[in-house]
Amino acid sequence: ALLLSVLAGPDSRDRRTRPGSALRFEQLISNEPSVRGLRIGVLRSDGTTEPLATPEVLAAWREGLTQLERAGAELIEIDWPEMNALRIVGSTIIAGEALAFHQPNLRTRFADYGEFLQQRILPVYAYATGAFIRAQQLRQILRQRANAIFDQVDLLSTPTIPHVAPPLGTIGSTALSIPFNLLGWPAITIPVGKTPENLPIGLQLVGKPWDEATVLRAAQVLEISLN
């Protein structure tokens, strides 16, 4: 909340910033934060046949949700089959942007790139002309459809990643975070437990556009309840 209050607001050097979007720290937190009456969507299905996460991650996530429910929030299970499409489109756009940025160095310093990044960027050369533009158009369509979720809930929750925190140098999954990166929705992760190996597990809260305050206040309630 403190960092956001510094970063948020219009910037004359960036035409994409929104006039009147400055936020003060005291707007984002509360001395007595509350989630009473807040509707929190609990993702049940993401459009695949796979579970959202491993059993230990799901158990910690559910415990975090229980804490929010005890604090007065209403939990509403949500099926969102288009989430998987958002992953695909998001990965396509990120890969295209990465290729545009790294292309000069790829020609002269290809061996300096790690195997993971090589495998992510090279397939973009096989994309048809205009694929990036079509992906951006599909992004807009999916965003308009996704906004309807907030007719049912005030916040959406998922595990942060499908597994426990990976060791340093290991690639973690973005399957549960990239859709919200693509949509531009505010999201936060809160630690809700640890494995026997002392690796942290996270709960993700996602809000509607321009509603960072609700996301942060719900996270504040959860943080307090778990401490």
**Predicted pLDDT at 125:** 84
Can you tell me the mean pLDDT for 30-47? 92
Question: Is-above-0.85 flag for pTM?
Answer: yes
Q: What Cα–Cα distance (Å) separates residue 52 from each residue in 24, 163, 188?
A: 35, 9, 18
Q: CA 158, 159, 162: angle at the middle one, nearest 5?
A: 125
For the stretch 110-162, pLDDT in tens is: 888 888 888 888 888 888 888 888 999 999 999 999 999 999 999 999 999 99
18 has pLDDT over 90: no
Quick one: average pLDDT of 81-90?
92
